[in-house]
Structure 1
């Protein structure tokens, strides 16, 4: 699911060579050392999405393309925020992801170019203030 979601999200952004360099083993290795930072969304016993949060930064949020629109992404994002996620980075041209984050109150704070997978890509950085006492949000 991680590989399919990753390749779907970045098909129009990253080069075919870069996408081909990402394999199931790539994700297995990354997750094996990061299990304490990963949360899963499941439906009928199958994983349909996941997040990884590191020190207040949302490293990854992916939902199986077949499960997008099901509310899994919103639930995963809410969980990540509850775990302290207040920053994230996205490819500038990943318009569906950017619209999703903006709908959930994330604000673009800067744009820049970054070397990703051997190529320079336009990226954007988002921030979201943590909830404060008295803002009406429930814990």
Structure 2
């Protein structure tokens, strides 16, 4: 409680990843988010991607972690000007964490592009509502799996 008797709201902190020691916690966030939003993803493909997060995918990007009260609740990964990943724990969806991570990626990491699974309509809408527009489409994901991608680019301010 604050000094005026109001409940205190934990402050969201976005920080650089501390590295491999926190990868297991990030994998848990990833799995929670994917289970909640990627119902189109075959179990075998989900498991294959999950098995490569710590060894291949996390080390390849600049990771930023969102935390509340010292607990990781979401993360983003950026490579060059591309947002390669943004995931929020399913129990924390809708609380502004994804927007905060995206804003951080844009302002601090220079993000201007993102690829989104076409079947993940909520993610495509999330980016569209934050200034991204579809500029292309691929029939498969980057690994050739049967999940079309929407290529989105941040609109330049007018």
CA RMSD of superposed structures (Å): 2.1
Do the aligned partners of 1:2 and 1:62 also contact (CA within 8 Å) in 2?
yes
C-alpha distance 74-115 of structure 1, shift in aligned 2 (>3 A): closer
For the pair 1:16 / 2:43, whether they are aligned, the reply is: yes
4+ residue stretches of structure 1 with deviation over 6 A?
Answer: none
Corresponding residue for residue 80 of structure 1: 105
Structure 1 unaligned segments of length 5 or more: list them: none
Structure 2 unaligned segments of length 5 or more: list them: 1-28
* Number of equivalent positions: 129
Do the aligned partners of 1:81 and 1:130 also contact (CA within 8 Å) in 2?
no
Offset of 1:26 from its aligned partner?
2.6
For the pair 1:111 / 2:137, whether they are aligned, the reply is: yes
Do the aligned partners of 2:132 and 2:154 also contact (CA within 8 Å) in 1?
yes
Do the aligned partners of 1:3 and 1:22 also contact (CA within 8 Å) in 2?
no
C-alpha distance 32-119 of structure 1, shift in aligned 2 (>3 A): closer
